[in-house]
Amino acid sequence: MRVFLTGATGFVGSAMIPELIKTGHQIIGVTRSDAGAQSLRTAGVEVHRGKLEEPETLRSGAENADAVIHCAFDHNFATFVENCAKEGRVLEALGEALRGSDRPLLITSGTGMGSAAPGQIATEDVFNANIPNPRIVSEITGASLLERGVNVSVVRLPQVHDTIKQGLVSYLIGLARAKGVSAYIGEGLNRWAAGHVLDAARLYTLVLAKAEPGSRYHAVGEEGVSLKAIADAIGKGLNIPVVSLSPGEAPAHFTWLSVFAGVDMPASSALTQEKLNWKPTGPGLIADLNGMDYTQA
């Protein structure tokens, strides 16, 4: 198939390219820069110029594809709410290009959308539209597109990692470096689900081949890694103290990350593994944190 891939130069998207090519797909990769265009050509990818801020530039690319994988997202948390609204507009444009056909649209969300209640393990068969996370717009828009005849499936991501990047954990590393301490809240027993980037890339490829309209899948290799274990690994890597903060001290230390730092976010991929015969094989989050070069992080 000719696959239109947003986020093609990003962390997950760039890992997906070799998997898609290996399984016989041609890729049309989105980029907004000359450097991105050159890296895509080098990888054997057809270049499409587009921007999240201009959804019509993405719609035109989707119209010429057999399938669309959307994994681009603006991760500037200073404008997170607006970025989520922008995500909704992008999905509307992509969906309009595919409406009335069987051409699949794979959208990206977070595993937290599958948690029925705080601290409850998120599963693929749950969609909690009441979660107070603006990113919920991705799945709400996806559900609306499904009702209008678009072949939508959802891949939910946990903290996706290798020895270079680790999702929200990367921001914790930067914060620990700046503050001189690696911190967690209380006993640090709250958990974050995690998955290796290469496992996530394989999952998208499997979903493209086998997904049913309206299905949801979790790219989870570890159901939950405690924040205490994460803070310990960061402290060891940076050679700085590891400290416990009270809930009252957390906002001043973590700033915008305090919204996530004390949240229990475990997630399962049992249904995904059963349905797609997908088995995560990559290193765990702590192994990658222990193996990274903190002078380059």
Q: Residue 217 corresponds to which tokens in the numbers above?
A: 């899948």
Please give the Cα distance from 10 to 267 (Å, whole number): 24
pLDDT of residue 8: 98
Q: What is residue 78's predicted lDDT score, i.e. its pLDDT?
A: 85
Average pLDDT of 182-206? Answer: 98
* 155-177 pLDDT tens trace: 999 999 999 999 999 999 999 99
Q: What is the pLDDT of residues 53-107, one digit of tens each?
A: 999 999 999 999 999 999 999 989 889 999 999 999 999 999 999 999 999 999 9
Q: How many helices (H) and strands (E) does the chain have?
A: 12, 12
Instruction: Please state, in angstroms and rounded to a whole number, the distance separating the CA atoms of residues 141 and 109.
Output: 11
pLDDT, position 296: 80
- Predicted local distance difference test score (pLDDT) of residue 132: 87
Q: Determine the Cα–Cα distance for residues 6 and 215; give it in Å rounded to an integer.
A: 20
pLDDT reported for residue 204: 98
244-267 residue pLDDT tens: 999 999 999 999 999 899 999 999
Q: Which two tokens stand for residue 196?
A: 């290796």
Q: Does pLDDT of 292 surpass 90?
A: yes
DSSP state letters, 119-134: TSPB-TT---TT-S-G
pLDDT confidence of residue 157: 98
Helix residue ranges, H only, the chain: 11-22, 34-42, 55-62, 80-98, 137-147, 168-179, 197-210, 227-238, 250-254, 258-261, 270-276, 285-291
What confidence tens digit (pLDDT) does each residue in 111-135 have? 999 999 988 999 999 999 988 899 9
b/e code 156-187 from CB counts within 10 Å (16+ = b): bbbbbbbeebbbbbbbbbebbeeeebbbbbee
pLDDT for the residue 211: 84
If you search the block for the tokens 């890339």, which residue do you land on? 201
The DSSP symbol for 32 reads: S
Look up residue 96 and give its two tokens.
Answer: 């309009």
DSSP for residue 113: G
Average pLDDT, the chain: 96
Cβ neighbours of 2 (radius 10 Å): 13
Write out pLDDT tens, residues 212-248. Answer: 999 999 999 999 999 999 999 999 999 999 999 999 9
Give the model's pLDDT for residue 166: 97
How far, in Å, CA of 26 to CA of 4, rounded?
9
Q: Is residue 218 a contact partner of residue 113, using CB atoms and an 8 Å limit?
A: no
pLDDT of residue 29: 98
Q: Residue for token digits 């803070």?
A: 231
Distance in angstroms (rounded) separating the CA atoms of residues 277 and 207: 11
Structural domains in the chain, CATH included, are 2-159+194-220 (3.40.50.720), 163-192+223-269+281-291 (3.90.25)
Q: What is the pLDDT of residue 77?
A: 86
